[in-house]
Each structure stands twice: as C-alpha cells, then as structure tokens.
Amino acid sequence: MITAEALQQLVETHGTPLFVIDHDELRNNYATFKKYLPRVQAYYAVKANPDPAIVQTLFDAGASFDVASMPEFMVVYDIIKDMPENERQEWIWDKIVYANPVKANETLVELDRYKPLITFDNREEISKIKQYAPHSGLMLRLRVSNTGAMVELSSKFGAGPGEAVDLILEAVKEGLTVEGLSFHVGSQTTNFENFVQAINLAAHIFREARERGYDKMNLLDIGGGFPAPYDDSVKPFSELARKINAELERLFPPEIEILAEPGRFMVATAGTAVSTIIGKAVRDGKLCYYVDDGVYHTFSGIIFDHCQYHLESFKKGPTQICTVFGPTCDALDVISMAEELPYNLERGDLLYSRNIGAYSGASSTWFNGFPPAKVIHVNR
C-alpha cells in the first residue's frame, strides 16, 4: 500500500486532484486470487477500471479479460495486436469473454471478426447471434440470487432455471455452439451463500442438458462479485474461496474449465484519491469542507456504484462529523454527509481516500468544465 508520505510527495510534484494507482497492489491482488482459487482462471472485468496501464499489468501477471463493449475489447486488443495472426486469434478465443448478454447488431458483426466467447440469455439474442456472429462460442447466463450484493444485476440479465436448457437447445438447433454457463451473484457480494447456490444451480443445468442430449458444455463462468475489503465487515477472501472450492470439487469434474470475472477485487485497493480543501463553511451548525474532486469525477462510485468512500486527513487533531462537498455547482456533488475529520483543517490542506480504484475514475466526466483527476501510476 502506498504510504501517506509518498502521496504527499506526489502532490508536491503533480498537484491535485490526483488518482494514484499502485501496480504492486494489482499484482498482489491477482496473486491472492490465484492462490486461493487455483482452479479458476481470472478474467479481469475491464469495466471496473479500463485504464490501459492496469490492463497491461494484469496481462503481464497472467490474467484473461472480461469485456462488455467494443471499446473495452480494443483496450485489450491493443496489447496483443502485434502477435502473429494465428497466435492472436487463439489467444482471443481462450482469454477474452464478451460478457454483455445483450449486444447491438453492429457489435456482433465486429465480434464475429475476432471470435471471442460471448454470453446470451434470451431467444432474441440467439437470432441476432445466428445472423451476425455465427462463429462465436456461446455461454448461457443464468439468473441467480443477488441477495446481499451492493449492486444487483439479476433484474436486468440472466435466463431463469426453467428456460435455461430450452435456450441452450434452441441455440444448438440454430447451428450455434454453447460452450457452457455463466452467472453473476451481484457486485460486492458479502453474502457468500450466493456463490454456493449459483454453483449448485449451474450443476443442475449441466445435468439437465446432458439428460436432454446435449453434452458439449465444458465451461463454467462463476462471474464477479468477489468483495473488496472496504471495511472490517467484509469477511476474508480465503473464507469465500473455501466455499467455492468445496462446491466446485463436489459438483464439477476436472475437465470442466472454471472461469471468473473479478473486477472490483483486483483494482479497488490499488487506487487512492487525493484532493485539496478549496473552501470551508458552517451550515446549520455543521462544518462543511469543499474539495477539488467529487462525484462527477473520482468519487463517481457514490452515484453509480452505491459505494461510500471514507476520507482521511494528513493533518491530525480533534475531530467532528463534517460534510464534504465536491467542486461543482450541483448540490448532488456530495462526497459524504457524515465524515469524521479534524475540525481545524484549512484551505490548502489535503484529504485522501483509499480503496477507490474500482468504478470510480472509470466514470469521470468534465461536468461544469472541471477535468477528471490526474492519474498517476506507481510501482509499474
């Protein structure tokens, strides 16, 4: 973890707002995932933070990739574009999953050129894939419980258990190849039973498909949702891994390849935001600080990711509950209504927020004309 002293030195060089990415932490997170889930190939969910430098570091560490748009696909493709054509195509087939179940016709045409594995979850998508991307390998995405997830996804995506095998057989009837199943238990899932239930459901669907004559599935994608340690309420990753490993060993023979799509887990703890106090006021008896970063920038995860980030001060002193506002003229730009900070901070003092690497800078805008924070990469 980058030290407070190092952060202050970076501010002296670059000013604020800063978004600092620690690549040692990226490598450590990838190694931790592989240590505790040795059977599972990690496909980094690029949407969590699509910075090309992050993708490159995880590529070098051995990661595969989950993309959900063609721009995300091209971030990965730029790393491998100079490979010999046959080697490049084999790498894409084996190392990229396009995990957005509903795709535009134009996207499918592009995907058919590169032939990554793609997901689907409904009959209309089967018709589109047959017409525009018939050479793709498919995975059926299942609807599973998202109870206890910070961001639920099951209301938008996933085939119901009762229709799953019918969809598989319909795709096969259309001449497509269904390679396996996928699911997503919801982002930042602290209810580990979601994984247990979903793996058991997938095993049931595998069994039903075999009983109905289709035995060519050899992949299971257990999705994302692996929680980042934002606070002490998040149980250790090793505990989740024990549950997953036990169910995989019990239900899926070694010849079934297991994939996963960790995003937040890989990058959340690698990011730190540093901002400067630009204003100070007392409103209705409550101390308010204004800083030069906000929810339209690095703290966008407050809006889009339902995540609350905590702020710390380099300066120590007696504390009280404060409000922290971002720099724009919009009253929506609130970082926190209840942050415990020193009450003796002044204009020009710094605040920083750790564990902000996921779903944060990825959604930064230029709202009000304020530019996104400057991104600094350390330990590359």
Q: What is the pLDDT of residues 329-378, one digit of tens each?
A: 999 999 999 999 999 999 999 999 999 999 998 889 999 999 999 999 99
pLDDT at 190: 87
pLDDT at 150: 77
Within 10 A of 43 (CB to CB), how many other CB atoms are there?
25
pLDDT at 170: 98
pLDDT at 309: 95
pLDDT at 10: 97
All domains of the chain, ordered by start, with CATH? 4-19+269-378 (2.40.37.10), 23-268 (3.20.20.10)
Query: Which of the residues in the chain have pLDDT under 50?
Result: none
**Are 249 and 256 in contact, with CB atoms under 8 Å apart?**
no
Within 10 A of 68 (CB to CB), how many other CB atoms are there?
18
Residues with a known catalytic role: 329
Helix, coil or strand: residue 43: strand
Of residues 92, 52, 11, 15, the one with CA closest to residue 362: 52
pLDDT at 146: 84
pLDDT at 153: 75
pLDDT at 48: 97
Tokens representing 87? 């080697």
pLDDT at 194: 94
